[in-house]
Amino acid sequence: MTSVPPEPPAGSDPSASTPPTPPPATQQWSPPPPAQQPASSGGGFNPAAVDRLDWGILAAGPLALIFSTFGYYTASYHGYSASVGAWHGFFGWFAALIALFASILLAVHIVVPSVQLPVPVRLTVLGGYALAALCVILAGLIDGATVLSPASSGRGVGYYLSLIVILAGAVLSFLRLRATGGKLPWESKA
């Protein structure tokens, strides 16, 4: 419902009942123009633009770190069993940290592309995951009984989960290196 102003009484001057309107004031101040993003910035980080394989690489490092705290080395002796994480042997924790640092390097490259890193990022991430895979395999070959006791020893769920996510990170890094046009150092430049 709209409101309509009442009509003036008959015989009255309509201009006399309404006060005169003042002239428009001259504007002495104007707000600043809105800030504009540089054309090259793209307006910030867009998670939807990140490749699915890159999300897998980014997740593999933190997961390797988390799984390194699970039962990595196990031992049992006369009905008693114990397990310790990867942090009780060199190769286990070193593999987790290398995988984490490779993921962080890729995250910096993706989230802040304006930062010029001094290394070829895709190749360095692949090298980091390859080194982490070698270390986790060595952690599996080294006997955990020396860490725990002279009992029957084996590997726990933390070892196998770490192995899986680190190998997955290495494979995904290789696939992304190829997809972005990168080459391995021993391949010809032609």
pTM over 0.85: no
In-domain check, residue 175: yes
Those residues with Cβ within 8 angstroms of residue 50's Cβ, 6 or more apart along the chain or in another chain: 110
Give pLDDT, residue 40.
Answer: 46
Chain CA centroid to CA 51, Å = 12
In-domain check, residue 86: yes
Domain of 153 in residue numbering reads as 49-179
Q: What's the CATH number where 127 sits?
A: 1.20.140
In-domain check, residue 16: no
In-domain check, residue 9: no
Residues 122-136: tens digit of each pLDDT: 999 999 999 999 999
How many folded domains does the chain comprise? 1
Residue 85, SS3 per DSSP: coil
Chain CA centroid to CA 139, Å = 27
Q: For residue 38, what pLDDT band results from cuts at 50, 70 and 90?
A: very low
CB 65 within 8 A of CB 158: no
Residues present in the chain in total: 190
In-domain check, residue 24: no
For the CA atoms of 61, 62, 68, 70, the dihedral, rounded to the nearest 10 degrees, stands at -140
In-domain check, residue 100: yes
In-domain check, residue 190: no
